[in-house]
Structure 1
Amino acid sequence: MFEDLQYVQSLEKEVEELEYEKAEFSNDYDPLLQECLSKDIMCSILRSFDDIEEQTDMQCLYLEKTEECENLELELLKCK
């Protein structure tokens, strides 16, 4: 009977240690998870900025080409 009690107490102690380790792991894991999520979100935002920058560059190029075409058209009209 005494051996059964010791066995149960050792199991209880082991469960307590595992719960402590679980809490400790969770305390370490949560900040890492938040950091990873933050980095993923930041990367997505930065990629969006790159896309916006590319689009802006294309719009500027389009405006420049449109202006060139208008200038050429004016020159052609002057030559007539």
Structure 2
Amino acid sequence: MQKIVYISNSRDYTEQNDINDNKYLVRINKLLEEGWTISQLNPYTVDVDPKLENYLHKETLVSFVILEKNEEKSQ
């Protein structure tokens, strides 16, 4: 079985928060704990609009992650 999960993270480099508290990463971490494995991950960094205040300190990462889980069939 496969699932596709979307990740998006936009943060200021100076933020002190734990990046793993991001709602998308929390969901993926839960699925990994349930036995799902990452089959494919293609991260992309998105350009930030230069009109935004302090844009030099921002990063925006997006990715679609394909997760797989083997289901054992009961006989």
**Highest Rg: 1 or 2?**
1
TM-score (norm 1): 0.23
TM-score (norm 2): 0.24
Q: Would you tell me which structure has more helix in proportion to its own residues?
A: 1
Q: Would you tell me which structure has more strand in proportion to its own residues?
A: 2
